[in-house]
Amino acid sequence: MSRLLSLIVPFYNEAEAIDRFCEAVLPVLDQIPGTRWEIICVDDGSTDTTLLHLIALSQRDPRFCIIEFSRNFGKEAALTAGINAARGDALIPIDADLQDPPALIADMVAAWQQGAEVVLARRTDRASDGVLKRQSAAWFYRLHNRVSKTKIPENVGDFRLMDRCVADALKQLPERQRFMKGLFAWVGFRTVTLDYARAPRAAGATKFSGLALWNFALEGITSFSTLPLKIWTYLGAVGALGSMLYALFIILRTLLSGSVVPGYASTFVAVLFFGSVQLMSIGLLGEYIGRIYLETKQRPTYLIRKIHGDVG
């Protein structure tokens, strides 16, 4: 009895990459012994001809199923939709731009057949990713793992293999704001890690601007840690203590020397300092309150316009 592999591929304006993706991936899938495969393509509201290409693919080969979103909901939503739809015994999210080497799928499946429930793919070489992106990624992982109990393995993207039991666990998580890297790490399970070198994009340009990555990092940290909320309590306490000591010092000095110093500069500095600390902490509270607000609305993570082909 052969087991079913489900590839989950998010597509956002990837028309140029589709043919190359299939050329690279299909031979690998066909050669893995003891398995059948399906490919769940999620069209994340592409505005180019991506959807037409994908539909044509699914008409030629019924092993392709296309989930068409009503608009762009983002990669996290696309992955969630793919995981919900996949029927495989193992699920593999993979990028459409061939930055995740398809050849690694064979090794992942081998590790899975030997009993691993999660097979991670770790990038050993991010040379294809500009200095700034690499450095900011390194800082993000360090900060995140320091402030959050859920440790995200460094340099591991969404490209991985998950057993059916892991996918079922993910489907139970009710949150709408889905930071997939964090959720993947949160569910746990028996994990094996493989290394690979990150290739440059096969075609097109990255879909994540600097600002998008900044928001993504903020989302990651506020989704999995409340430490940023606590920092301000301590900072406030230290500030309050400091200003009380300073007040005491001024009183003593006035009593001893009697001199009245026109201290407008220090007053001004203190007002500005504490004003900005308060603004920052209000902003931080806002970040979490915004999250609570979005969750309470209970809106779905994504909307599907149409499903092309046979999806579970």
11, interface contact from ligand UDP, Mg ion, none, CB < 5-8 Å by kind: ligand UDP
Q: What share of the chain is helix, strand, coil (3-state, %, to 5)?
A: 50, 20, 30
Q: How far is the CB of 94 from Mg ion (least distance, A)?
A: 11
Query: For ligand UDP, which stretch binds (CB under 6 A), given 70-78, 118-126, 268-276, 294-302?
Result: 70-78
The amino acid at 288: Y
Cross-sheet strand order for the sheet of 156-163: 191-197, 118-125, 156-163, 90-93, 3-11, 35-43, 64-69, 304-308
C-beta of 85 vs 116, nearer to ligand UDP: 85
Nearer to Mg ion, 68 or 100 (CB): 100
Classify the phi-psi angles of 45: left when phi > 0, otherwise alpha if psi is within -120 to 50, otherwise beta.
Answer: left
Contact 150, 185 (CB under 8 A): yes
Site for ligand UDP contains 191 (CB under 6 A): no
Task: Please return the burial class of 77, using the count of CB atoms within 10 Å of its CB with bins 0-12, 13-18 and 19+.
Answer: buried
138 three-state secondary structure = helix
Q: Is 76 in the site for ligand UDP (CB under 6 A)?
A: no
Looking at the Cβ atoms of 44 and 68, the one nearer to ligand UDP is 44
Question: Taking CB under 6 A as the rule, does residue 93 contact ligand UDP?
Answer: no
Sole window of 7-15, 143-151, 257-265, 280-288 interacting with ligand UDP (rule: CB under 6 A) = 7-15
Q: Is position 66 an interface residue for ligand UDP (rule: CB under 6 A)? A: no
Number of residues lying near ligand UDP (CB under 6 A): 16
- Residue 24 in contact with residue 102, Cβ under 8 Å? yes
Single out the residue of 6, 12, 65, 222 in contact with ligand UDP (rule: CB under 6 A). Answer: 12
Distance between CA atoms of 41 and 54, rounded to whole angstroms? Answer: 8
Give least dist CB 77 to Mg ion, A. 17
Give me the least distance between CB of 200 and ligand UDP, in Å please.
10
**Cβ atoms within 10 Å of 236's Cβ, excluding its own:** 14
Nearer Cβ to ligand UDP, position 53 or 75?
A: 75
191-197 vs 118-125, strand pairing mode: parallel
Contact between 128 and ligand UDP (CB under 6 A)? no
User: In the set 59, 206, 276, 278, which binds ligand UDP (CB under 6 A)?
Assistant: 206
Where are the alpha helices (H) located in 47-87, listed in sequence order?
Answer: 50-60, 75-85
- What is the nearest approach in angstroms of ligand UDP to the Cβ of residue 158? 8
Among residues 68, 97, 117, 163, which is the contact residue for ligand UDP, using CB under 6 A?
97
Nearer to ligand UDP by C-beta: 111 or 160? 160
Helix axes 264-296 and 227-257, enclosed angle (nearest 10): 160
**CB of 168: closest distance to ligand UDP in angstroms?**
23
Binding site for ligand UDP (CB under 6 A): 10-12, 14, 44, 72, 74-75, 78, 95-97, 99, 206-208
